[in-house]
């Protein structure tokens, strides 16, 4: 997949990254786990609004892609810790450039939206 080095090939590569971190909670989890080991319930508290189901699913996917490491302590009650791998930390570094872009153009986007919505709701009646 993503053959050649044309424009669409690069677009394809970007898409693969987005498939990995595009989920609603992925980024938030990676960020938390980048600060150090976090436990399941701790994540549940810090990611406001996440359901148990989605937390589990997202954790599994991130673990599968090698972005998170899962450590089980065979104690009673059970204790499981999640830590971001170096690869994940590096990923978040590159996401910072995205944040910068978003902050630079925040107003521009808001304006564009407002103008678009105003245009669309106004039937150009003449």
Residues that bind DNA (CB under 7 A): 23-25, 39-42, 49-54, 56, 59-60, 70, 77-81
Q: Write out the binding residues for a copy of itself, residues 69-108 only, by CB under 8 A.
A: 87, 90-91, 94-105, 108
Question: By rule CB under 8 A, what string of x and - marks binding of each residue 20-59 to a copy of itself?
Answer: xxx-x--xx-xxx-xx----------xx------------
Q: Residue written as tokens 């989605």?
A: 54
Rounded distance between C-alpha atoms, residue 59 and residue 114, angstroms = 37
- Please identify which residue in 7, 72, 118, 125 interacts with a copy of itself, judged by CB under 8 A: 7
Q: How far apart are the two ends of the chain, measured CA to CA in Å?
A: 50
Rounded distance between C-alpha atoms, residue 71 and residue 62, angstroms = 14
Q: Which residues bind a copy of itself (CB under 8 A)?
A: 7-8, 10-18, 20-22, 24, 27-28, 30-32, 34-35, 46-47, 63-66, 87, 90-91, 94-105, 108-109, 111-113, 116-117
């Amino acid at each position: 997949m993503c053959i050649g080095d044309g424009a669409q090939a690069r677009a394809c590569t970007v898409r693969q990254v987005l498939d990995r971190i595009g989920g609603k909670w992925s980024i938030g989890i990676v960020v938390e786990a980048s600060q150090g080991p976090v436990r399941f319930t701790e994540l549940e508290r810090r990611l406001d609004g996440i359901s148990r189901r989605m937390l589990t699913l997202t954790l599994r996917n991130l673990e599968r892609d090698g972005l998170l490491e899962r450590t089980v302590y065979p104690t009673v009650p059970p204790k499981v810790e999640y830590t971001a791998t170096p690869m994940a930390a590096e990923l978040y570094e590159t996401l910072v450039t995205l944040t910068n872009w978003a902050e630079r153009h925040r107003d521009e986007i808001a304006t564009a939206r407002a103008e678009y919505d105003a245009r669309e709701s106004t039937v150009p009646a003449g």
